[in-house]
Amino acid sequence: MTIRPFRILLVFVTSLIPLALLAVFVFLARYSWPALTFNGWHFLVGRTWSLGNLYADPVTQRGVLVPIGADYGILVFIAGTLLTSAIALVIAIPVSLGVAIFLAEGLRSRLKVPLSFVVEMLAAVPSVVYGLWGYAVLTPLVAHTLGPGLRAVLGFVPFFAGPIGSGYGLLAASIVLALMVVPIIAATVRDALARVPAETKEAAYALGATHFEVVRRAMLPTVRTNIIGAGILGLGRALGETMAVLMVSGGALNYFPSNIYSPITTMASFIVSQLDSAMQDPTGMAVRSLAEIALILFIISVVTNIIARLLTGASRNASAV
Amino acid sequence: MPLPFKVSRIARRKGLSGLGWALAAVSFVLVAAPLLDILYTVIRKGLSALSFTLFTQVTNGISGGLLNAITGTLALVFGALVFAAPVGILAGIYLSEFGRGRFGRTVRFLDDVLAGVPSIVLGYFSYVTLVIGMGWQFSVLAGSLTLAIMVVPYVARFTEISFLQVPNSLREAGYALGLRELTVITRIALPLALPGILTGVLFAIAIALGETAPLIYTAGWSNFLWNGKLIHEPIGYLTYVIWSFINQPYRSAHALAFAAAFLVILMVLLVNVGLSIILRRTRPMRPGPQ
């Protein structure tokens, strides 16, 4: 067997990618280990995040040195993460399907490229710019127009009733997230629709279906798994989104949202907003507990991505980037 | 459904189809309108905040210029490419030329997974390992490496796809002439794949330009121009200005935030225009967003 230095180099460099993924997991787990042993399952079901008394001498609890009264529970942030992502998907999936159908079937080919570019630009806008727009435009709109309008229409449901507040909160965060995941879902579904075999369409036409009926009854059912996969891909993105949510969510601490206008905090945005104060903890347990949140986010994102990739099929194409 | 007047079955089906198309068009408007408003808001407020001193002065508290942030962003993005481009390109070459086995399939899969990891998780990882663990503190190197881990999956993917599009007959022709593997890849496949690789690198630049979350606790922030030190020296960047200055209750801070947003959007737009020019010139291989 001959030794091929070039191939060895390639294998070595290529293995850096899985190694990076492994390193993220190993180092986050190792760093947050004291927090894992101290917090236990309480971490996932506790409702208070308290750094404890940082001025008193720390005490040893469960074999770990922590400030007196330290209590790390992230149930509120888990709820914030799941609620924002769920509402975002409820908005984004029908809209994305509409956009995908419009771009794939509803346009002359001359218009397809420029209008597709609009959706691609939506994906290119940085997260922090979405946050800026949310701060300057969306939150006033939610406080004065969208919120009152929604309450007037759906106010009989408790979740949509009650005080609207400043506009920062669940609704604003979900709208921003929806805008950010629409390009992902719409592009995947549009490309899947474009790959539906002509025979399928022609068969439906031959049965006398209108153009829209062809799309609705013949094309959409064949791309159903792609839609689910794209939705989960979008979910993964929404769960981990940080800056845009941080800037419009109102940053609620230690209380659950009472309605769709309430301020909330997600796990990802909590990490950014709290690291500064966590560093004040001389025992370092707060920083380690934040690492535990990052570890959980990592596991969630890996699982959602694996499910999404399995559903959209192993044979990826350029569109699945 | 009983209607007060009689509607033929055909007319009802046509009506419903029309309604379907209308809903599809409305969804597109629902998505396009916010995008246009984002661009309009950022350009209007950003242009009014634009001045010459923005490019000549450093930030001074919450006023002054953005020179430190502009140069910092460029340094961080360049640093990310220094790591991500060679690794991504070589990994892409491996995946397309030799990646049909189990190792190749695994890497391809994990490449996708890495692209889906939230940026804040990568930022925290770097904070734990590089900033604290290695003792680099907030620094260019920690920030660049974090961005590099973020964008390397995209470079690898674009490279792989563009190499896969090189016809096998060309490689076989090279082997038939007695060329070695390395020569076939670098002299025959690489020139043809170059536009695709460039697309991947531009894509990576666009992502790195707009990132914030992974930099806050790896690159830090600095009011001063970067002094060239790779570690132990924080650095400023434009997206930090957007996030942090908009929360200050001062007009000068808001103006700087919008000016920074304008510059970031302008750079991202330019990169995207470059992307679509390359894509249109070469094959109709149009990668989707994200």
- Give pLDDT tens digits for B115-139: 989 999 999 999 999 998 888 889 9
**Residue A200, phi then psi, degrees to nearest 5:** -60, -45
Q: Which percentage of chain B shows pLDDT scores above 70?
A: 95
Residue B183 tokens, joined: 């020569």
List the single best residue of B124, B205, B272, B282 to mutate versus A (max A Cβ within 10 A): B124
Query: What's the confidence (pLDDT) of residue A149?
Result: 87
Q: Which chain B residue has its CA at the smallest distance from A178's CA?
A: B31
Euclidean distance between CA atoms A313 and A228, whole angstroms:
11
C-alpha B130 chain-centroid distance: 23
Enumerate domains of chain A plus CATH numbers: 78-262 (1.10.3720.10)
Angle at A129 between CA B67 and CA A74, to 5 degrees: 115
Q: Which percentage of chain A shows pLDDT scores above 70?
A: 97
Give this prediction's pTM. Answer: 0.90
pLDDT digits (tens, 9 = 90+) for A160-214: 888 888 889 899 999 999 999 999 999 999 989 988 998 988 999 999 888 888 8
Euclidean distance between CA atoms B256 and B65, whole angstroms:
8
Of A10, A98, A124, the CB nearest to B98: A10
Please identify among residues 51-110 of chain A the ones whose CB lies closer than 8 Å to any CB of chain B: 94-99, 101-103, 106
Query: Please, are residues A35 and A13 in contact by the beta-carbon 8 Å criterion?
Result: no
Query: Please, are residues A266 and A194 in contact by the beta-carbon 8 Å criterion?
Result: no
Alpha helices, DSSP H, located in A106-155: 109-124, 127-133, 139-141, 147-154
Contact B45 A121 (CB under 8 A): no
Contact B121 A298 (CB under 8 A): yes
3-state secondary structure of A66: strand
- Got the DSSP string for B50-89? --GGGGTS-EETTEE--HHHHHHHHHHHHHHHHHHHHHHH
Query: Please, are residues B124 and A242 in contact by the beta-carbon 8 Å criterion?
Result: no
B chain contacts of residue A16, beta-carbon cutoff 8 Å: 87, 91, 152
Residue A139 tokens, joined: 């939150």
Long-range Cβ contacts of B227-230 (<8 Å, 24+ apart): B229/B139, B229/B140, B230/B139, B230/B140, B230/B141
Residue A164 tokens, joined: 């609207």
Q: What is the mean pLDDT of chain B?
A: 88
Which value does ipTM take for this structure? 0.89
Enumerate domains of chain B plus CATH numbers: 52-281 (1.10.3720.10)
pLDDT digits (tens, 9 = 90+) for A264-309: 899 999 999 888 888 888 888 889 999 999 999 999 999 998 888 8
Residue B87 tokens, joined: 């690794």
Q: Which residue has the higher pLDDT, A57 or A19?
A: A19
pLDDT, average across residues B142-152: 95
User: What band does B287 get if pLDDT is binned at 50, 70 and 90?
Assistant: very low
Residue A247 confidence (pLDDT) above 80: yes
Euclidean distance between CA atoms A190 and A299, whole angstroms:
29
Residue B81 confidence (pLDDT) above 90: yes
pLDDT digits (tens, 9 = 90+) for B167-222: 888 999 999 998 888 888 888 899 999 988 998 999 999 999 999 999 998 988 88
Bridge partners (DSSP) listed for residue A64: A61
Contact A21 B35 (CB under 8 A): no
Euclidean distance between CA atoms A171 and A248, whole angstroms:
9
Distance from CA of B114 to the nearest CA of A (A): 6
Query: What residues have CB less than 8 Å from A27, skipping those under 6 apart?
Result: B125, B128, B129, B133
**Residue A60, phi then psi, degrees to nearest 5:** -95, 120
The single residue listed with the structure tokens 């941080």 is: A246
Query: What's the confidence (pLDDT) of residue B267?
Result: 93
Q: Which residues of A82-94 are buried (b: 16+ CB within 10 A; e: fewer)?
A: ebbbebbbebbbe
User: What band does A125 get if pLDDT is binned at 50, 70 and 90?
Assistant: very high
Q: Which chain B residue has its CA at the smallest distance from A97's CA?
A: B24
Question: Which stretch of DSSP H or E encloses residue A53?
Answer: none
DSSP state of B25: H
User: What band does B286 get if pLDDT is binned at 50, 70 and 90?
Assistant: very low
Contact B28 A128 (CB under 8 A): no
Euclidean distance between CA atoms B171 and B134, whole angstroms:
45
User: What band does A134 get if pLDDT is binned at 50, 70 and 90?
Assistant: very high
Q: What is the mean pLDDT of chain A?
A: 87
Query: What's the confidence (pLDDT) of residue B282?
Result: 62
List the single best residue of B31, B182, B248, B258 to mutate versus A (max A Cβ within 10 A): B31
Euclidean distance between CA atoms B84 and B86, whole angstroms:
6
User: What band does A138 get if pLDDT is binned at 50, 70 and 90?
Assistant: very high
Query: What's the confidence (pLDDT) of residue A256?
Result: 85
A chain contacts of residue B269, beta-carbon cutoff 8 Å: 121, 124
pLDDT digits (tens, 9 = 90+) for B16-73: 989 999 999 999 999 999 999 999 999 999 998 888 888 888 887 778 888 889 999 9
pLDDT, average across residues A93-120: 88
Residue A240 tokens, joined: 């981990």
User: What band does B285 get if pLDDT is binned at 50, 70 and 90?
Assistant: very low
Query: How many Cα atoms sit within 13 Å of A193 on the Cβ side?
Result: 27
Question: Which segment, B223-232, B236-245, B276-285, is predicted with the most confidence on average?
Answer: B236-245
**Residue A49, phi then psi, degrees to nearest 5:** -115, 110
B chain contacts of residue A28, beta-carbon cutoff 8 Å: 121, 124-125, 128
CB-CB neighbours of A11 under 10 Å: 17
Query: Please, are residues A211 and B13 in contact by the beta-carbon 8 Å criterion?
Result: no
User: What band does A150 get if pLDDT is binned at 50, 70 and 90?
Assistant: confident
Residue A313 confidence (pLDDT) above 80: no
Contact A126 B213 (CB under 8 A): no
**Residue A61, phi then psi, degrees to nearest 5:** -125, 135
Residue A318 confidence (pLDDT) above 60: no
